[in-house]
Copies of this chain bind each other. A is one copy, B any other.
């Protein structure tokens, strides 16, 4: 059935071509500005063709959401070789912050948009490979930290959640422009981006105190 396979190939090609176009628009002009019609225009098909390959816009948002998580994971990959667990934890935090700064739109669909996550919660049962991989790496690092004397008597999962939410708080409030305003209003010497860096250092300092 060579012909059927070729057809199947074509279908997959167009599906990924749509996503490719969506991704380009989305990275260049942001999520809000990426419409079905613009994606269609970019690949020179009619808007309705998109619906033959993706259920709706959320479906595309979800695909980008997934891409974001796998991109984040590639940023984490080289950190696996950092020997000291606590240093690795610091490196993960920095890489996460850096990811948010350099890919604000990805960060947005991944962590600040309800729809794609609703999609995951509804359609992915109790699995979510992309997200799980990232979280597991963090959790394993926490466990390794415990072997180094940190976080004794603390729940590993809870500690991982806390580390994640803490750093996410910094990144998201930075991206929303709240930290900028605080720095301005409070007349802080410290600049906007360094504010996160310093706040992160402070958090790490809090964590370091758990060492026994």
Contacts and interface: CB of A to CB of B under 8 A. Distances in A.
Nearest to A119: B177
Contacts of A199: 158, 161-162, 165
A13 interface: no
Contacts of A21: none
A185 interface: yes
A20 interface: no
Contacts of A202: 154-155, 158-159, 162
A28 interface: no
Interface string A39-70: 00000000000000000000000000000000
Contact of A195 (B118, B161, B190): B161
B185 A131 contact: yes
Contacts of A29: none
Main secondary structure of the interface of A (DSSP, over half): helix
Contacts of A187: 126
Contacts of A158: 190, 195, 198-199, 202
Contacts of A180: 121
Counted per complex, copies of this chain come to 2
Interface in A158-206: 158-159, 161-162, 164-170, 172-173, 175-182, 184-188, 190, 195, 198-199, 202-203, 205-206
A138 B181 CA distance: 16
B169 A164 contact: yes
28 contacts: A112-B176, A113-B176, A117-B177, A120-B177, A121-B177, A127-B185, A128-B181, A131-B178, A132-B186, A135-B186, A139-B186, A158-B190, A158-B198, A158-B199, A158-B202, A161-B182, A162-B199, A162-B203, A164-B169, A165-B166, A165-B169, A166-B166, A167-B169, A168-B169, A168-B172, A169-B169, A172-B172, A206-B209
The 4 closest A-B pairs by CB, nearest first: A169-B169, A165-B169, A168-B169, A117-B177
